[in-house]
Structure 1
Amino acid sequence: MYALVTGASRGIGRAIALQLAQRGHDLLLVARSEDQLKALAQEIGQKHQRQAQVLALDLAAPGAAEKTAAWATQHTNQLAVLVNNAGYGLWGRFEDLGLAEQQNMLQLNMALPVALTHALLPALHQAPQAYILNVASTAAYQAVPSLSLYAASKAFLLSFSRGLRYELKARNVSVSCLCPGATTTDFADRAGMGAELQATANKVSMTAEAVAAIAVAGLLAGEAEIIPGVLNKVSAGLTSVVPKGIVEKIAAGIYEKYL
Structure 2
Amino acid sequence: MNIKGKWSLITGASSGIGEQFARQLAKEGSHLVLVARTKSKLEALASELTRSHGVQCRVIPLDLSLEGAAGELYRQCQQLGLSIDLLVNNAGFATHGLFEEVSGERQHEEVMLNVTAVVDMTHLFLPGMLHRGAGAVINVSSTAGFQPLPYMAVYGATKAFVLSFTDALWWENRNRGVQFFALCPGSTETNFFNVVGTEDASVGGAKDSPERVVALTLRAMARGKQYVVPGLRNYLSAQITRFMTRRQSLRLVGGMLRPTQSKEDL
Q: Shorter chain as normaliser: what TM range?
A: over 0.9
| CA distance in 1: counterparts of 2:254 and 2:228, whole angstroms | 25
Which residue matches 1:106?
111
SS across alignment from 2:59 = strand
1:162 to 150, 158, 167: 167
Secondary structure at the aligned position of 1:132 is classed as: strand
Deviation of residue 39 (structure 1)?
1.0
Residue of structure 1 in register with 2:3 after alignment? none
CA shift for structure 1 position 227: 0.8
2:11 maps to 1:10: no
Q: 5 Å matches for 1:1-259? A: 1-194=6-199, 197=200, 203-259=205-261
Amino acid at match of 1:79: I
| Amino acid in structure 2 at the alignment position of 1:178 | L
Rounded Cα–Cα distance in structure 1 between residues aligned with 2:33 and 2:260: 39
Q: CA deviation at 1:203?
A: 3.1
Q: Percent identity?
A: 34
The answer to which of 63-72 and 211-220 deviates more is 211-220
Report which stretch shifted further, 48-57 or 201-210: 201-210
Asked if 2 retains the 8 angstrom alpha-carbon contact of 1:184 and 1:202, the reply is no
- Give the number of equivalent residue pairs: 256
* 67-76 or 136-145, larger mean C-alpha shift: 67-76
Whole-Å separation in 2 of the counterparts to 1:142 and 1:172? 31
Partners of 2:31 and 2:55 within 8 A in 1: yes
Task: Structure 2: state its 5+ residue gaps.
Answer: 1-5, 262-266
Distance across 2 between alignment mates of 1:189 and 1:26 = 30
What is the CA–CA distance in structure 2 between the aligned matches of 1:181 and 1:154, rounded to whole Å?
A: 12
Distance 1:22 1:229, change over 3 A: same
Partner letter of residue 229 of structure 1?
G
Looking at structure 2, the residues matched to 46 and 253 of structure 1 have their Cα atoms a distance apart, in angstroms, of 48
Alpha-carbon distance, 1:46 to partner: 2.1
- CA-CA distance at 1:75 after TM superposition: 2.8
Taking structure 2 as the reference length, the TM-score comes to 0.92
- The code of the aligned residue for 2:31 comes to D
- What amino acid maps onto 1:105 in structure 2? E
Give 1:217 shift.
2.0
2:142/2:185 contact within 8 Å kept: yes
RMSD: 1.5
**Cα deviation, residue 42, structure 1:** 1.3
Question: Take 1:253 and 1:178, find their aligned partners in 2: how far apart are those partners?
Answer: 25
- How far off its partner does 1:51 sit? 1.1
Q: Could you tell which deviates more after superposition, 230-239 or 173-182?
A: 230-239
Contact 1:20/1:216 (<8 A) preserved: no
Please give the alpha-carbon distance, in whole angstroms, between the structure 1 residues aligned to 2:55 and 2:222.
19
Once the two structures are superposed, what CA deviation does each residue of 1:218-237 show, in whole Å capped at 9, x if it has no partner?
23333211111111111112
